[in-house]
A and B are shown apart, each in its own frame.
Chain A
Amino acid sequence: MKYCEAFAALLDPYLDGELSPEEMVRIHEHLDHCPVCRAYADDMLTIRAGFPGVEDTPVPVGFADAVCAAVRGGAAPRKKRAAPWAKALVPLAACLAVVILLQNGPLSMQCKNAALTAYDSAAVEECAPAEAAVESPTETGDSVGEAKAGRQVPTATQSPAASAPQAYAALSEDEAAPANSGAGVTSLNTGDAWVEHGNIVFSAVVFLTQAEAGNALDGYEGRPYSDADRPGDGAAGTGYALERTDFQRILDQLDASPAVTERQEATTDLCCIVVTDASSAVN
């Protein structure tokens, strides 16, 4: 039985919940392409189910009922959330970004990331202080949701630079996806679209048909996506800019293995999921 050398060391810790989020992304990516490791994971989880100890796991009273109530109530899982305190940073970054871009040419990575927040007017909109900060997971079941309702948690210790990019795909907290009310954000000259090799080069891009994407991207803000290197294609679809971990997590949820194009010449750490209208994905 062969096992993948590079990932052998990660597989068991993965199954034991011992990996860091970054390592988990790597292992998930690998599992997408490796039937051997997938089979190992499948078998180990099956074996685990046969160990008596698992059946003794304490589960909160009414847990299954709460989940099913949420499902029947039409609940969807929470989407990406920016750490509450990070939202306060966004308008400042956006202001800086506009100034920097108008004045300078080449940008450092951090400035680019900050600049991109200016595209995301939804992120700026969220900075309406009182409303955005309070999280009210009304869609979750009673027994698990109530304990968390209304909790504001500015306890994150991540550095601002690391967290600000989260705002790109950030959404308003309530499930009714709001239209942008234009909180005075200034769009850059390049307009409200992703132009690959024009105004940006994503570090990874994947193309999904609407059917493949389903509603995995609901609530995320997409922008028209096109590729300057392929002028004949016109607008290839709607592009959703995401951090690598979220990008991977969404692809995980689909449990499909669409071909991901990695770009060495990327100008950002962000990745992009492009939802096309075509019946077959365009690469």
Chain B
Amino acid sequence: MNAEMSFKRSTRRDHFDVDREIDKVIHRNLMNQSPPPGIYSTILGKVRIETTRPPADPARSLSCASALVAAAVLIVVAIVLAASRAPLAATHTPFFNWLSWIHSTSLSTWINESESFLAYPTILFLHTLGLAVLVGFSVSADIRLLGVAPRIPLASVSRLFPFMWLGFWINAISGTLLFIADPIRKSMNPLFEIKLALVGLGLTCMVLIQRQLYLFDTAPGVEKRARSRSKVLAISSLAIWASAIAAGRLLAYLKSS
């Protein structure tokens, strides 16, 4: 068949030839008028982009969006805390008054003074558990992306992310409660905002890795190009979470006087 053979000759991504061949077929069989020039290559181009973009998934978009919002909030809070500490003698700034107010609320007093096991010790334990889940699974996902245990399918790695998000939110809530218990000393500690900023960066890394894994799943063609990107993300993620843990642990040891 003439049109087929001439089409095969020109499939070396020469858009102009593709247009001409499809034109010929359609003229012969379907239409009387000529379509606009270049219309088919434009359509093919759009189709190619559509197939490589992952289909919209509301749950995934919501989790990505909430993660990025949380990351942005953390980084902004970190900056605000750093900025507010500048005049250390200014103990009557509105920000300090607000922190004093938080410290005086009944929730704060309950966390601090309750003898119940369900108060401070439990909140601390939940914070550690959330971090073990979040950083633990993040570490195993990262070392998988770096080539350890390569027969683990990436789909399984994607299955870890809901647990990691659960770990993060457990830590966000327990962390907020821990902050409420002692807002003034925490905000005076430079390590605290460093930790928040690092957690914000870590979350961003997580979202990017999650997207990367999704792309691997839905558009196998991008794998080669994206593999080096995912390795960079994995290494950054390891470094960021390690620093965040260090900052968090050192909070207890390097209190500002």
Asked if A and B bind, the verdict is no
- B-side interface residues toward A, CB under 8 Å? none
